[in-house]
Structures are given as C-alpha cells and as structure tokens.
Amino acid sequence: MNHPVQISLDRIGVRQPLSAVAVGDQWLPGHGRELSSCSPIDGSDMATLALASAAQVDKVTVAATAAFEAWRLVPAPARGEFVRQYGTLLRAHQADLAMLISWEVGKITQEAVGEVQEMIDICDFAVGLSRQLYGRTMASERPGHRLAEQWHPLGPVGVISAFNFPVAVWAWNAAIAWVCGDPIVWKPSEKTPLTAIACQTLVQRTMANRADVPPAISNLMIGAAEVGEHLAAAPALPLVSATGSVAMGRAVAKTVATRLGRSLLELGGNNGMIVAPSADLELAVRAIVFSAVGTCGQRCTSLRRLIVHESIADALRDRILKIYARLPIGNPLGEGTLVGPLVDTKAAQTMADALAVAKKQGGRVYGGGRLMEGVPAGGVYVRCALVEIDRDAPILQQETFAPILYMIRYQCLEEAIEIHNSVPQGLASALFTSELREAEWFCSAAGSDCGIVNVNIGTSGAEIGGAFGGEKETGGGRESGSDAWKQYMRRATNTINYSGQLPLAQGIQFE
C-alpha cells in the first residue's frame, strides 16, 4: 500500500499487525473492543486494532515496577544518554512522525513538524537535566552535622494524554521521567493510536543498543477511558500525569487522591488576550489569528476571548474578519493551508451548538458552519467564527474546542483584567500594549491569574524551557521545563552526624 501513513509507519519500523499494548520491547494484542481509526482529513480508514482492556493494566504496571528497580540504579547521566539517543532517532524521523500527526489529528505540516520539534527539544533539555538533578545543602543548627537534600527516582508514572498533542505531551513527561529514573505507562487518546505506536517503536529501536536499559521503562496501552481510570487507581503508579478535559481531570484527581498518590493535571483552557489602545496592531492581528485558528482552534492554549479597548474594537474586528474571509482552509498537507479540519463530526456539532447558544445570549456571530467546497470529502472542515458578545454572557465561561473567538469590549485596563480573570480556567493569557506600566501590571500579582502570562505575543505556542500549565480548573500542574522535574522525583532530607555527640534539634535536653 502506498498510502503516506503506511510509508511513514514502514520507515519508522512499525510492525504489522498493529498491537495496542507494548510492555517495553514486546507487543501484546489488546483484549478490548476493536477500534477503527479514521483520518480527520478525509475520513479514510487508517488502521484497525483491538484496544487494550482495563484488565491488562496490572500486567503492565507489574512490568514497569520491575523495570523501576533496575532503572533507578542506572546513573542519571547514563539515563540521559538514552534520551539523547532517542532524540537522535526523532530527528531522523521528524518528517515521518509529522506525517502521522497530520493524518491522525489534521494538523497542518508546519504545526505537525513543530510538534515533533518540541519532542526533540525536550529530549535535549532532559539530557542536560540528567547532570543537574541538584539537591540543596542547608546549614545545620547542630555542630558536626550535615543537612542536605537528595532527589531520588519516584516510581512508574502513568501518562494519560489528549488527542490534540498526541506525542509532544507524552515526550514532555517521558523524557523528564526517564532521566529522573522513572518508567512510563502511557495511555494515549484512542483517537491517535498510530502516532503512539510509532513513538514506542522508536523507543524500542533505541533500547535495542542499550543492555543497561530495562525495556519496561516504556509501556503503552492504547485504550478507552476505562484504561485511564484503572491507571489512576493503580497503587503501583505514585504519579499520574493527565492531560485532557476538566471533566477527565476531576475524575482522575479524585481517584488518585483517594489512594494519596500524586497527580499532575493539564486540563482545559479558556484563554484570553487583552488588546490595549497602544498595541502594535500589526503584530496583534497576526498573533490573534495564529492563536485563534491554529490547529483549527483545538489547542489547550487557543485564543478564545479577545478583550479589546472600545476605541479600537471596530477596526480590529474588521481586520480580523477580512483575514478570516480568505483563510486557506483545507487539506492540512496542502501547500499554503493554514487551517485543517476538526477532529470529528462531534467536534463540529459542539461548535455549532456553542454558536447557537452564543446567538441566544445576544452574540453577533460572524462565520462558522461547515465548509463543503474545496476541501477533501469525508473530512470535517469549518469556517472560523468571530462572535461579538457582552462580557456577562454565560457561554464565555466554557471552553469549546473549535475555532470560535469571542470579542468583548472594555474601557479601562482594570476592567479588562477583571473580565479576563472571570472564567474558571487559568491556562494562557496575553496582553498587547506598548505601555510598560500596563505590561508590568498584567504580569503582577494583581494581573493575569493564569499559569502562562504573555506580553506582545499570542496565547499559544509555548517553549519547552518554561514550566507549562495553568491554574484554577486547568489543574495546577506544571510540565516540561524549569523545575517541573521535581514532581517526577521524591525528596529525601538527610541529616548526617559526624560529631561523636548527640545534640538534639531545638536545643532539647534528653539525658
């Protein structure tokens, strides 16, 4: 078969028939229902495989636990070397993996290649980190004592990921967890089985040359939500890192908390941008369009709420609508395409429903609706929508995973920040201004309440070097760069007495 998906799978080395479960270098058939994977580009069938069942979770976590016993003793720089080798394979197969992302998620080539670049970047970051898992030394109050922290591997980590970043989010977790000494048990979205199988295959190829790497540091379970539920409940997984909707995060958080495990939650966003009168509108318009329609509005950081000063609102709206009218929407693999399809018909229905509700709530809707002409048949293509709406409309409180941009007007920055912060989610935020004081206000404790606070760039497109994540219903987790690695390790505070006396802390006498 000469389908580009098959060519990419072959080049990566994926074996047929496809299996939903991998324990390290072994593939196992899933025991769950059969899944047919269709492309959002044209609805074509790409793969059929039996999903993992919840009953298979135990077998995988037992293997991961055994791998942990050995992996935690491999020196961290040697663990980093494994990640470096994996990154080298990713570089060699960047185009193949990007092709699979485009076919499974509908991302345009630029964004798909960019997603793989994020994986490569996090591998590089993790390699450096493998020599920098620093603990502090503190001054002891007792003579002849040393007080210091050590960071130790934590244990196998469960990773539940969403469809829209099918591989980068796993890589953020896996690369960091591996250098920290933790195996991974990955449950990707059931909408993206092929990219997951490709990633695991590349891990297997990396392991083939490394006798010191226990294969079950990398495990895969492609299954439905019930597999995720069982991972959340598994006592063998001290940390569960879950990316997806707020509803999923609530369920996972509850289950993990019941067994007093740790959860790292990366949930829905409802991201806002304020455009002040002094903004460079040229830059602002470009940032707005990329953030609002990139990945067809299916990024957790997609721009959903545009809060514009009333003095420039009409002009800005008209410029955006002009661009929306000629957006190249279509086959994401086509040259020049900027907006690909939604992931499925359910997503298109959700978009249509949200627009109908917005209208009922007084919104003035521009655009929206299915696009049937000039796009591949069988795919779900939509016109991007802009909705002028009042700040109090209840629809503004919810994330709709589609290219809908709500526009709200404001009079003073205090009001704009209040509108901005008035939603339950707290992921990404942005302000366009040329006023230093406004910029600093937005970044201050009295400014944006989000985990990501940008000035003069859009809400989407984060770099891996920073800690990524959000507040409030977004879940509070931080992944990727900065000191996010600490969540994948356990901290031991060591006190060593080399004095020959036994002085007690706080000067307590106990003779």
* Part of the chain binding ligand NAD (CB under 6 A), chosen from 97-105, 196-204, 239-247, 332-340: 239-247
* Part of the chain binding ligand NAD (CB under 6 A), chosen from 100-108, 237-245, 283-291, 404-412: 237-245
- Scan residues 189-208 and list those touching ligand NAD (CB under 6 A): 189-190
Question: Rounded to the nearest whole angstrom, what is the least distance from the CB of residue 31 to ligand NAD in the complex?
Answer: 17
Distance CA 463, CA 298 (A): 18
Using alpha carbons, select from 271, 225, 334 the residue that is nearest to residue 460: 271
User: Which one of residues 173, 195, 243, 263 is an interface residue with ligand NAD (CB under 6 A)?
Assistant: 243
In sequence order, the 6+-apart residues with CB closer than 8 A to the CB of 258 are none
- Scan residues 284-303 and list those touching ligand NAD (CB under 6 A): 300
- Scan residues 27-66 and list those touching ligand NAD (CB under 6 A): none
Nearer to ligand NAD, 165 or 406 (CB): 165
Would you call 266 a catalytic residue per the annotation? yes
**Binding track over 474-503 against ligand NAD, x by CB under 6 A:** x-----------------------------
**Binding track over 328-367 against ligand NAD, x by CB under 6 A:** ----------------------------------------
Would you call 300 a catalytic residue per the annotation? yes
Our separate counts of H helices and E strands in the chain read 14, 23
Q: Which amino acid is at 64?
A: A
Question: Rounded to the nearest whole angstrom, what is the least distance from the CB of residue 503 to ligand NAD in the complex?
Answer: 48
**Angle made by CA atoms 301, 175, 491, in degrees to the nearest 5:** 100
Burial per residue of 367-376, b for 16 or more beta-carbon CB atoms within 10 angstroms, e otherwise: bbeebeeebb
User: Which one of residues 251, 357, 393, 443 is an interface residue with ligand NAD (CB under 6 A)?
Assistant: 251
* Part of the chain binding ligand NAD (CB under 6 A), chosen from 18-26, 96-104, 267-275, 311-319: 267-275
Three-state secondary structure readout of 327-391: CCECCCCCCCCCECCCCCHHHHHHHHHHHHHHHHCCCEEEECCECCCCCCCCCCCECCEEEECCC
Structure tokens that stand for 510 in this block = 């106990």
Nearer to ligand NAD, 80 or 475 (CB): 475
Q: How many residues bind ligand NAD (CB under 6 A)?
A: 29
The residues pairing with 264 across neighbouring beta strands, listed in sequence order, are: 241
Question: Rounded to the nearest whole angstrom, what is the least distance from the CB of residue 194 to ligand NAD in the complex?
Answer: 15
Distance CA 450, CA 73 (A): 38
Which residue in the shown chain puts its C-beta closest to ligand NAD?
Answer: 228
Nearer to ligand NAD, 250 or 490 (CB): 250
Distance CA 388, CA 313 (A): 10
Nearer to ligand NAD, 35 or 276 (CB): 35
**Binding track over 153-192 against ligand NAD, x by CB under 6 A:** -------xxxxxx---------------------x-xx--
Marked catalytic residue, from 180, 199, 300, 450: 300
| Residue pair 450/471 in contact by the 8 Å Cβ criterion | yes
Distance CA 359, CA 297 (A): 19
Question: Rounded to the nearest whole angstrom, what is the least distance from the CB of residue 118 to ligand NAD in the complex?
Answer: 12
Question: Rounded to the nearest whole angstrom, what is the least distance from the CB of residue 189 to ligand NAD in the complex?
Answer: 4
Instruction: Identify the helix (H) or strand (E) that includes residue 432.
Output: strand 428-432
**What does the DSSP assignment read for 282-332?**
HHHHHHHHHHHHGGGG-STT-EEEEEEETTTHHHHHHHHHHHHHT--BS-T
* Part of the chain binding ligand NAD (CB under 6 A), chosen from 11-19, 222-230, 414-422, 434-442: 222-230
Measured N-to-C along each axis, helices 94-105 and 193-207 cross at an angle, to the nearest 10 degrees, of 160
Q: Which amino acid is at 482?
A: S
Distance CA 308, CA 322 (A): 17
SS3 label, residue 471: strand
- Scan residues 365-424 and list those touching ligand NAD (CB under 6 A): 399, 401
* Part of the chain binding ligand NAD (CB under 6 A), chosen from 103-111, 246-254, 272-280, 319-327: 246-254
Nearer to ligand NAD, 121 or 190 (CB): 190
Alpha-carbon separation of residue 139 from 268, 298, 420, 493, 495 (angstroms): 42, 50, 44, 13, 11
Q: Which amino acid is at 345?
A: T
Nearer to ligand NAD, 113 or 224 (CB): 224
Question: Rounded to the nearest whole angstrom, what is the least distance from the CB of residue 244 to ligand NAD in the complex?
Answer: 3
**Binding track over 436-455 against ligand NAD, x by CB under 6 A:** --------------------
Nearer to ligand NAD, 266 or 388 (CB): 266
User: Which one of residues 244, 294, 367, 481 is an interface residue with ligand NAD (CB under 6 A)?
Assistant: 244
User: Which one of residues 181, 261, 269, 294 is an interface residue with ligand NAD (CB under 6 A)?
Assistant: 269
Marked catalytic residue, from 266, 399, 438, 479: 266
Using alpha carbons, select from 232, 229, 104 the residue that is nearest to residue 167: 104
Q: Which residues bind ligand NAD (CB under 6 A)?
A: 160-165, 187, 189-190, 224-225, 228-229, 232, 243-245, 248, 251-252, 266-269, 300, 399, 401, 427, 474
By annotation, the residues acting in catalysis are 266, 300
